[in-house]
Amino acid sequence: MAVVVMAINLRNPVSLDPENVEDFRDLAHLMVDDIVDYIAGLSDRPVWQPITDQEKNSFNQPIPLQPQGEASAYQDFKDNVFYQPMGNLHPRFWGWVMGNGVPLAAFADLFASIMNPNLGGGDHVANYVERQVVDWCKQIVGFPSDASGLLVSGGSMANFIGLAVARNTMAGFDVRNKGIAAAPAKLTVYASSETHSSNYKTVEQLGIGKDWMRFIPVDRNFSMNIDLLEEAIAADKAAGYQPVCIIGNAGTTNTGAFDNLNDIADIAERENVWFHVDGAFGALARLSPKYGHITAGMERADSLAFDLHKWMYLPMGVACILIRNFEDHINTFAVSPDYLSHMPRGLAGGDHAWYGDLGIELSRSFRALKVWLTFKAYGIDHFARQIEQDIDHAKYLALLVEQQPNLELLDSVPLNIVCFRYLPEEGFEGEINELNREIMLRLHERGLAVPSYTRLNSNFALRVSITNHRSKPADFEYLVEKVIEIGEEILGA
């Protein structure tokens, strides 16, 4: 057969694999050494530091057209990126709700990238790893073994999946084909005023609209007022609206508060309304023999969302959404064009639903591997002890705050979040909220510690969210010392 010679030179193909395997091996060994040194030296570096204009300008370069080389590119990474982190690996990072990573899991991410499978579907081993991890997640939170589940990028996407299934299942008409505009009555969703923004963002994107989300006031413990929830549902039904979902909090972002999940489950059953639990980090308190009782009722949810990169400390980003009824789940998302049809055998086969039919992502990374490897390496009991330690650290910080006359605890600390503020002596004529904001900013800018912030009853709070397996009691003592020191510094200026 004659060989066709094309204008493109196929006799000298190009590739992105290393040209010299041994040189690449040496570079890879250097990378591993740098990673281990980086982890070992975390506490010796600032938690965070401002990025200078000169450093920012290093990212205003034209696109590289010619090769720089692997070793040179890696050196640029070390010089310009590696030592300018967000800071959430540091023992004194307590901002927002972020885990600080497990080194072994980071290497699992490396292997996941090397294998580079797509978990949208097909009969290959990565899908069985995810199935195993989802099954373990069901056991952790008390869901039935035949429930459906999916690993996603984070709690926001997990909430989106859960609420999308709730809408489609409870709407009473064919939402997928007719669209939300065909609803015979306005759909309503209920959550406490402390619910996470991802929930009302989802309600907006699902076409229900934020105006039709009822934000139920909370009690003094920041838990949903159950009586007001019942009143809101009754009023909406009387007005001809259709309640479709109640969202319960298993650990609010502001304070770690739990709603009374059993009471909400009772109401949802009685009113035939979907019960979704946003358990972003608090759901995993269930692992703790000491504190797990706070999650009671969570296992009764129709859907449950929780992050594994928060209170399981894994690298970003991996979360889990569990749906009690598999048919409700797959009926919300499954599509079957010819190019995605399942085969009886071969790579397009398999005896399990394809994960691309359980969510909106078809291209899905192998995020399950870091969960699988880490759970096997350390065991769930270790994570239970770690979670208990974080909660005990929160109780310890609260005690430290209460021992200082110029610090004020702003919440009861039900879980792992401590909200407090600096109080100047009587006669201070400035704005206390602005004073505490400045204290927080100086803590950040000096690389001393990273708490985040919120407002409780109009008071600006230094918010310390402890999902950090590297923190020690001395770190919290240091925080209190520096808050007082900076407060006095500002007042004396």
**Residue 108 contacts residue 374 (beta carbons within 8 Å):** yes
pLDDT at residue 4, as a whole number: 56
pLDDT at residue 140, as a whole number: 97
Secondary structure in 3-state letters for 246-263:
EEEEECCCCCCCECCHHH
User: Rounded to a whole number, what is the distance in angstroms from the first to the last CA of the chain?
Assistant: 88
Identify the structural domains of the chain with CATH numbers, from first to last.
117-378 (3.40.640.10), 382-492 (3.90.1150.170)
pLDDT at residue 68, as a whole number: 94
Cα 32 from Cα 61, distance rounded (Å):
28
Tokens found for residue 35: 């990673």
Tokens found for residue 26: 């040496």
Cα dihedral 286/288/294/299 (nearest 10)? 20
pLDDT at residue 352, as a whole number: 86
pTM comes to 0.94
pLDDT at residue 230, as a whole number: 98
* C-beta atoms surrounding 216 within 10 Å: 23
Q: SS3 of 64, please?
A: coil
Please list the rounded mean pLDDT of every run of 10 residues in the chain (493 residues): 59 87 97 96 95 92 94 96 95 94 96 96 96 98 97 97 98 96 96 96 97 97 97 98 98 95 98 97 96 97 98 96 98 89 88 92 96 98 97 98 97 95 84 96 98 95 97 98 96 81
CA–chain centroid gap for 37, Å, is 27
CA pseudo-torsion sign 306, 310, 311, 313? positive
